[in-house]
Structure 1
Amino acid sequence: KLNVIVFILCEQNEKSHTTRFYNEIVDKLVLHHSKVNDNLYVGSCPRLIEHIEYMKNQLNITAVVNLQVISDIENNCKQIIAHRQPQPLGTLKTVVIQDKAYDVSSVHELKLVYDQHQIIFTWLPTVDMSTIGRLLTFPQAVLVLKNLLVNKHRVYVHCNAG
């Protein structure tokens, strides 16, 4: 069991607490989530197609805000992406930022899975456990989330562990 009281009393840092929680979720392949209100859930990343189906059919999720960076999607969503047919060589999706190319094929494949389930997929990559990363992403995340909620979507927001 996770000792939340120890974390609150600052006897552990965020990284060690989150890492233990993350490892527990990964080992059990569970989708851990909390209901914030009727239209907003926060939680761990879906790791299986069954998690996406649960979100769609049991939680009635209509939109997902994914805060994972590319490497986290590749590491944590392998089993979801594996259900899709691999792209032929030469069709990789790349994005160039400041003269550096990033392969976003895994993000694109994940989006296609959400599309198949009629769930809107929004990607706002945020470095995990980084205060600066959170500060940089926060304004965009607020705008995206507000727009989704105003348009009557039921939204699931996630990073890796939740």
Structure 2
Amino acid sequence: MTFITVNAVNKKSSFSLVELILVIVLISLTYTLFLPKMTLYSNKKEKPSLVNIKSYLKKHFKFEENLTFSCTDTTCYIFVDNKRIENFEVKNLFSSTPVVYQNNEILEFLDITIDNISYSVVFELAFDKDYKSKDILLEANTLFYFYNSIQDEVRIFETLGSYEDYYENLKIEVSDAF
């Protein structure tokens, strides 16, 4: 009679209860920390603001001749090739009536007519067919916003003096380039 003995050599180790609980806790922690941020980020819609308006308009609206962002005291409208986008309005962009400057002069804008009602325009940002706009300085919500004709980035200044310093340095850079 032959006896076969079983050795413990083929015995495989498994997770202990503590290791299993630790893995579950780590997976749960990772899920709760990172997954909500990913879903919130994907659901987040970009809204137009005074800081991102140039890049927002160029990114979301295609045009052939011109693109205009016109604001009244309470509402802003978008005109693509002189036709208003019907379902698009930005409300309450300004907390008080803004002042718009170009070359140290206050700009005034033509009124717009919507549904046979004339509205006074307090701010307007317009692009030509080459996607260029005018250099303007907007004084609104206690800050100064400088919209450069070439760059999409809007420079923000807390005082008019800090803008004037920046503008003088810009003029010096341009004159030194020639």
Is TM more than 0.5 here? no
Normalising by structure 2, what TM-score?
A: 0.23
Rg (Cα) greater in structure: 2
The structure that is strand-richer by fraction is 2
Query: RCO higher in 1 or 2 (8 Å CA, sep ≥ 6)?
Result: 1
Q: Which has more helix, going by share of residues?
A: 1
